[in-house]
Structure 1
Amino acid sequence: VILGGGRQAFLTDVTQTPEDPIDSWGCVREDGRNLIEDYRLDKQRRGLRAAVVNNNLELNSLNLNNTDYLLGLFANTHLKYEHERDTGPNGTPSLSQLVEAAVTVLRKNEKGFFLMVEGGNISMAHFRGRAKKAIMETLAFEQAVMKAMEMTNEEETLIIVTSDHAFTLNINGYQRRGQSIFGKVNIS
């Protein structure tokens, strides 16, 4: 199961839109290959039950119980922040929806499974000094962990939550008591 962003690394001729730009700093294919089609053809040739999805509608329409291999690429680069994502049919699933899909597919394996989930937008928000986005992304990640806990047996499951590095959250200025920390502050 592979779910997330990064479509531009799978295609040579990726299309960008204002809502789904190409990241000039990101990986760009120059070898003419379409790894999405390679994935699809490989699974088809081997007679495996596989699916490729690109949005909420396709993921929600898929019978995950009849899917053993799942590739979902929902953005050319990074996924949108949780509170900025399009939740409609052509939009992007939440992190907890991606976890639900992944666990549904993976738990059919009698030998068990390993699932790695990254809440990468937490770091992205911190790098850009966006406190509210960092907090909202942390809450979205918490929902994803809760979904994983809900769908698995705690007697047979080890869930580890860690980070690759730490950030601090500074709230600067002299805002009045009771002032929201999520917007611009008035002069005190």
Structure 2
Amino acid sequence: MFVGCCCADSSQDSLEAQFNLPIAADEKTVPYLATDRRGPAGKDVPSSARSGKSLTQEEKEAEKARLQTLVNNFAKKAVRGCPCVYFKEGNAQRFETQYRIDKSLEYLILVNPQEPGVTEVTCPIAAIQDIYSLAEDGASCFPPEVVKALEPEDKERLLMIVFGDTDGKLFRFCLVEESIRSRDDFLECMRILCIYAQSNPSDGR
């Protein structure tokens, strides 16, 4: 089991403070990730979050509290490590492994499935350009060898994260979430964490 020691119970109080993210009451109106798109070739996809309906102050506060709880719970769980299936592009070999988020909320890390102490992918959260879902965006967005290698139950849970480096080069990796619920939580929480990371860059970035 790939569980790190960075989240021992003794550090729980500091984690609670760390994950108190400043979410605006109307956070649901923020565009999806950085690019406001969820499909190939820049195709805009309507979002129920941007339906144009005006929320009352009470509804805004309730939504803020919901998002705060959702992101806090997701972040604390992700620091410990979340189970996933990783497909290596090229040969589409399937691995059971974990993804993690570091305690500073700066990096999404995919653990090497064969060496738990080694990182397979290190993705700066602020550099995420898009996250594709097979269920919503279709197979044409994904590497064909990965789609071909999927088990039937994987199809609703497959995600592809696309991120860039400082030179503008794009990278991508595919993973299968544990459940449809965890897929939805990942998409919603990573949208918020991406906005948070971009608005709170570290000194070294």
TM range (shorter): under 0.3
Q: Which is richer in helix?
A: 2
TM-score by length of 1: 0.24
Structure with greater strand percent? 2
Structure with the larger RCO, 1 or 2 (CA within 8 Å, 6+ apart): 2
